[in-house]
Structure 1
């Protein structure tokens, strides 16, 4: 038999030395018990820049920044390695040229197998600068993302684990839902949904839906820390790892209470408009036969005085009721956008004259002094619907007559102002408080000037001015009011663009 080759200690050491020399990605060298370098491999030379002849016999603290040397850290490393048998650390180290690199260092205490006496230290150094740069870049990216998420003020953004427990919580989540991060972390998503939804399994259904479809969007009631409810829109997205495993869920939640209130108000307003339109049409049907009956009674000159007085009462109230129904119909047309114009070239002065003729009986009945100042017809020509413009002017005149005491003054002026035509109706009546100058143009709004009489005339529904302003705007014009205050009269002014010649 051929004897097996034997390995002498020298051969083993030579092979180990060759192995150490072959490693070029790690600096591997040996220190004596005092920290002086006694061996040096090619990896150490590549990593640190010193040749074997330059570095042997020097203290290993030469690889440490001055601040680390000053604090005694190199000796502390040897002390811990001596105590524990092994020491591992990461930190800045120096190359021969003075440049720094981030190193992973493992120092192992070497002891005599027989006596256990410390004979030195084996040190392995690895350059982790590139890995650290990636980690720093990742940390910076995560920090920027965190700052971005925290800077979002109107969206609660938070992460859940696979079981629905809160893992992150931005500032907006704290503001919207009322839970500080310290009290919500680790608690279940069901905490912010109503009891009935939680008992019905809604939170888990949301997570299951996001898992199946990747993303689920929903709206519903949510509960704040103080127990109050709000309407929320939420998007829950499943988050997966690189290997496809489910990591958790990202939730973005927004408080939509204000929007819901506006939508509910819009629906209510639409239903109200539909009801008003139906009511006006239903009321108008019986008015025609009642008007015919009153007209026939007026033709009868032989009615007893008592019956004639009753007939006149019916006539007056029927006129008022007809006006109210017409106002309701105009409200319906205004809110549904069904008012249409039939524009043509029209003299605004002529429109004013016809409007005065229509309203004069009311003015005369109250003994008002009426003064009119109009230019020639050709001076104020506009593109507009004469019927609708007359409706606006008549409303201005009716308001003046209505809110001016008996024997008061009403002035009507029409004039050219640059490229516009202006119609003003001024009175010395009850006036308008400054806070009401815009409110009176809202639907169903009327000025409430305390202590002043209503001029003895029913104020109506408060529709006329709102409708008038809408009509003027449809003509690309403006309608406004001004007053020096209660008891000091008011002026209504309409401006329209002049028609091109």
Structure 2
């Protein structure tokens, strides 16, 4: 029997007729339902036979795909797919999945009659007869191109926003879940707070707060305020990963979804440490006139007794008791003047940004001992004592030893100054995680509540300048705060009120792990005057200040050294071949030939081949030391020269010959 060629129209027509048993095929639906499907235009609703040929076609299919009913009936549905999908047999795979699972859903690009593409949501449902035999497939297609474009635009917008947030380095921008745990982290957050993304995601944001704020429940209160008010802004100290503190401006905003369900919080943090310092300096400049008046008063105060003591010694040169008493007075007043000058220089360096810390492994108890020893004359003068309350064992840290001694000595002197004679100054230290807390407690006149913060500002004193019997320049506590903040710490004052004493609390970061042997033992310290004096040296002292040169030469000769003095550079070049110095101490700021010219010229003078050159100067910044080293100096000493430093330098240079 001859087989007739396949006819799509014939196949479509036969699909509408009942079979031999009188049963209807998959298109024998009731007329109302058929009319409903035909009328729908937002969805392409059509059927396929078991092989995937189109067997029905509604108006929505014609509108979305572009084919008329007579054009598409009997055609294979794969023509709606892109060439690459056809090449990988995706249409057949869809039918197979629908036949096996009963239903298959997919989204992807589809092709219209004119060749244009649209993004489609497709649902294919297997159709079976009463006996469960597969008789075809129902296919519903929806054009989601506009929705996809909107979603893609939103995704690109969100990606652009994400890249923008990620790229911002001046602000820490991150998200918290409703419980305060971190769920996102931008590069600015890493830059400001020091944590990498993988280190901080999932941790609670309270890790950024100082311990006292955590103990007081501040992080939880801020979340609750943001939840109730929608937004909360705060400024205060925050903690970096390394334990250092910075002054932060923080905005916390509650984030809700469309159902007003709390999704979490957006947190924006900015490091405002520099702005805070600038504002403090601007406020300080307003008090400059008062300070200058106070400075004049404070400098003249020690000069008056020095002048009186010298006059008394001149009038009674043979009175040994008077001389000893006068010398003690002069020493105390000169030490006081030196402290005033040092404080002024340090404040100048801090305000101009020229101060640099020289951090090294140190032991805090050693710093405390040196500070108390430095304050001993003031304590003894008022019959006061210091009670140190410290945990057992050493407290190792990385710090500038000289600067921390300066801070602690200032705090002890401050406590002594404002406390009655015979009282006790308590210094209590404790270690909490990676923070050292030091409290200096006095029994003095106390501080009014309004002045607790102001006393740390430059040139501020609680009393009006000139009316306080205790005197002072009003820079000591400001200097303390600046040096402490340079170490990444904080300092604060507390007082129950006037007459009830004061407590100054200092907090400093500690290293995560102490390196063995960090604290220097006695064997590492510079030798004292006694050790240096055992090695007599020939010393050439070059200084145009005759009093300074003569007095320093006298001290050196008293320790056994042979000293030749030159009061200018030309004289130094003249006497050097005769004295053949082991050490040349050269002042830098001299008229005519300065110290730099002298050392260059002396390199070619006979008798100085083995001479070691030491610069004497009032400048001690790292850049100044670099200049002297580049000029050929072997050491750099800052005036006024401490004897221990001088003799230690002489001994060191002698050992390296």
TM-score range, shorter chain: 0.5 to 0.7
Residue 231 (1) aligns with residue 250 (2): no
Determine the structure 1 residue equivalent to 2:58. 41
Residue 103 (1) aligns with residue 120 (2): yes
User: Which whole-Å CA distance do the structure 2 matches of 1:153 and 1:252 have between them?
Assistant: 12
Paired residue for 2:593, among 427, 440, 444?
427
Paired residue for 1:146, among 142, 162, 167?
162
Any idea what the Cα deviations from partners look like across 1:336-385, whole Å, max 9, x if unmatched?
A: 99xxxxxxxxxxxxxxxxxxxxxxx989xx9xxxxxxxxxxxxxxxxxxx
Determine the structure 1 residue equivalent to 2:38. 21
User: Which whole-Å CA distance do the structure 2 matches of 1:77 and 1:216 have between them?
Assistant: 56
1:173–1:179 contact (8 Å) kept in structure 2: yes
Paired residue for 2:149, among 133, 139, 142?
133
User: Which whole-Å CA distance do the structure 2 matches of 1:168 and 1:459 have between them?
Assistant: 54
Q: Which has the larger radius of gyration?
A: 1
Determine the structure 1 residue equivalent to 2:568. 404
Determine the structure 2 residue equivalent to 1:211. 227
Determine the structure 2 residue equivalent to 1:122. 138
Paired residue for 1:279, among 298, 302, 309?
298
2:545–2:567 contact (8 Å) kept in structure 1: no
1:231–1:260 contact (8 Å) kept in structure 2: no
TM-superposed CA distance for 1:45, in Å, is 0.9
Secondary structure of the residue aligned to 1:38 is strand
Secondary structure of the residue aligned to 1:427 is coil
Any idea what the Cα deviations from partners look like across 1:11-64, whole Å, max 9, x if unmatched?
A: 972212221122111111111111111111111111111111111110111100
Secondary structure of the residue aligned to 2:592 is strand
User: Which whole-Å CA distance do the structure 2 matches of 1:101 and 1:187 have between them?
Assistant: 45
1:104–1:126 contact (8 Å) kept in structure 2: yes
Normalised by the length of structure 2, the TM-score is 0.45
Residue 80 (1) aligns with residue 101 (2): no
| Residues 245 and 429 of structure 1, relative CA distance in 2, 3 Å threshold | closer
Any idea what the Cα deviations from partners look like across 1:290-344, whole Å, max 9, x if unmatched?
A: 687789x5xxxxx9x868xx99xx99x99xx99x97997999699699xxxxxxx
User: Which whole-Å CA distance do the structure 2 matches of 1:195 and 1:332 have between them?
Assistant: 34
TM-superposed CA distance for 1:193, in Å, is 3.6
2:595–2:615 contact (8 Å) kept in structure 1: no
| Residues 76 and 438 of structure 1, relative CA distance in 2, 3 Å threshold | farther
User: Which whole-Å CA distance do the structure 2 matches of 1:177 and 1:156 have between them?
Assistant: 8
Q: How does 1:473-492 map to 2 (within 5 A)?
A: none
Secondary structure of the residue aligned to 1:168 is coil
| Residues 425 and 175 of structure 1, relative CA distance in 2, 3 Å threshold | closer
2:232–2:251 contact (8 Å) kept in structure 1: yes
Determine the structure 1 residue equivalent to 2:269. 253
2:108–2:121 contact (8 Å) kept in structure 1: yes
| Residues 259 and 244 of structure 1, relative CA distance in 2, 3 Å threshold | same
Q: How does 1:344-359 map to 2 (within 5 A)?
A: none
| Residues 38 and 452 of structure 1, relative CA distance in 2, 3 Å threshold | closer
| Residues 62 and 277 of structure 1, relative CA distance in 2, 3 Å threshold | farther
| Residues 12 and 83 of structure 1, relative CA distance in 2, 3 Å threshold | closer
Paired residue for 2:72, among 45, 55, 64?
55
2:50–2:135 contact (8 Å) kept in structure 1: yes
Unaligned stretches of 5+ in structure 2?
1-23, 349-457, 460-543, 550-564, 574-589, 601-613, 642-657
| Residues 103 and 440 of structure 1, relative CA distance in 2, 3 Å threshold | same
2:103–2:123 contact (8 Å) kept in structure 1: yes
Secondary structure of the residue aligned to 1:187 is coil
1:48–1:95 contact (8 Å) kept in structure 2: yes
1:104–1:128 contact (8 Å) kept in structure 2: yes
Any idea what the Cα deviations from partners look like across 1:388-428, whole Å, max 9, x if unmatched?
A: xxxxxxxxxxxxx996158579xxxxxxxxxxxxxx95337
| Residues 138 and 264 of structure 1, relative CA distance in 2, 3 Å threshold | same
Q: CA RMSD in A?
A: 5.4
TM-superposed CA distance for 1:188, in Å, is 2.5
TM-superposed CA distance for 1:158, in Å, is 1.3
Paired residue for 2:201, among 182, 185, 195?
185
TM-superposed CA distance for 1:127, in Å, is 0.5
| Residues 165 and 281 of structure 1, relative CA distance in 2, 3 Å threshold | same
Unaligned stretches of 5+ in structure 1?
1-8, 298-302, 338-360, 367-400, 410-423, 462-501
Paired residue for 1:156, among 172, 186, 193?
172
Any idea what the Cα deviations from partners look like across 1:76-119, whole Å, max 9, x if unmatched?
A: 11111111111111100001111100000111111112x12111
How many aligned positions are there?
Answer: 366
2:569–2:598 contact (8 Å) kept in structure 1: no
Normalised by the length of structure 1, the TM-score is 0.57
Determine the structure 1 residue equivalent to 2:185. 169
| Residues 328 and 162 of structure 1, relative CA distance in 2, 3 Å threshold | closer
User: Which whole-Å CA distance do the structure 2 matches of 1:73 and 1:162 have between them?
Assistant: 44
| Residues 280 and 212 of structure 1, relative CA distance in 2, 3 Å threshold | farther
